[in-house]
Amino acid sequence: MTDETSNADELLGNPLESSTDTSSVHETPDDSETGDSARQQRRVPRVLIEWLIIILIAITSAFLIRSFVVQTFYIPSGSMEPTLLVGDRIVVSKLSLDFGDIHRGDILVFRRPPNENCGGAPVNDLVKRVIGLPGDHLSSRGNTIYVNGHALAEKWPHNEPLGGDIGNVVVPANSYFMMGDNHPNSCDSRSWGPIKRSYVVGRVIMRIWPLSHVTLF
C-alpha cells in the first residue's frame, strides 16, 4: 500500500508539475505578444499622424512659395520671340518686386489689363518687356523707339519692323509701358496703354524648359 500510494503520488504529481511548468512557459510569450501587438497598434496611428504633418507642411510650403516667392508659367504665343518661344516654361520671381526695382529691359509677367482687346482666347496673365518707366516720354519713328528724346538701344533680341507706332506717350506714375520682343506681332501697350504696377506678378528670371535652352535673365 505504501508503495502504491507513493507510486500514485508520483504519477499524479509529475503530470501536475509538468502542467504547471508548461503553463508557465506559455504565459511569457502570450504577454510578450500582447505587449508587441499593443505597441504596434499605438505605433500605426503615430506614423499616420507624422505623415499627415509632413504632407501638410509640404502643401503649405508649396502654397507659400507659389504665392510669395516664385511661380512657373507656360508661354502660349509668339509675341516674345525670339527671346521666348511657344512652349517655353519660365520661372517668375515675386520677391524681386518687394526687394528691388523694375528696370527698363526687364521681362515681366502681369495680369491681363481690363482694356486688353487683342482678340483670341482670353488669358489671365501676359508676358512682355519693360520699355517705358514712370514719367518717361515715349515715341517712335520708323523702327526706332525714342525714350525722352533719345533713341532706345535695344540690347536684347527682338524682331523688326516695329509694326504699330507708339505715338506720343507719357508713362503715368507707378505704371510701365510694355512691348513684346516680336515687335510686328505683339499686342501690347501700344494697343492698351501702360500697365499699373499693381498688375505685375513678377520678373522673369529663368527659362527652365526646354532643357536644351535653359537661360537666366
Whether the per-residue pLDDT at 44 is higher than 80: the answer is no
CB within 8 Å of 40: residues ≥ 6 apart: none
Q: What is the sign of the dihedral through the CA atoms of 99, 104, 106 and 112?
A: positive
CB within 8 Å of 194: residues ≥ 6 apart: 132, 169, 171, 172, 175, 176, 177, 178
Q: Are β-strands 107-111 and 137-141 bridged in parallel, bridged antiparallel, or unpaired?
A: unpaired
CA distance 57 to 155: 43
For the chain, what are the domain ranges? 1-68, 70-216
CA distance 172 to 199: 14
What is the pLDDT of the chain when averaged over all its residues? Answer: 82
Whether the per-residue pLDDT at 59 is higher than 80: the answer is no
CA distance 25 to 20: 9
The pTM (predicted TM-score) of the whole model is 0.72
Of 32-36, 96-100, 164-168, the range with the highest mean pLDDT is 164-168
CA distance 88 to 76: 8
152 burial via Cβ count (<10 Å: 0-12, 13-18, 19+)? middle
Catalytic sites, residue numbers: 79, 128
Q: What per-residue confidence (pLDDT) applies to 169? A: 97
pLDDT band at 125 (very low <50, low <70, confident <90, very high): very high
Q: What is the sign of the dihedral through the CA atoms of 129, 133, 138 and 144?
A: negative
Classified by CATH at the fold level, domain 70-216 comes out as: Umud Fragment, subunit A (2.10.109)
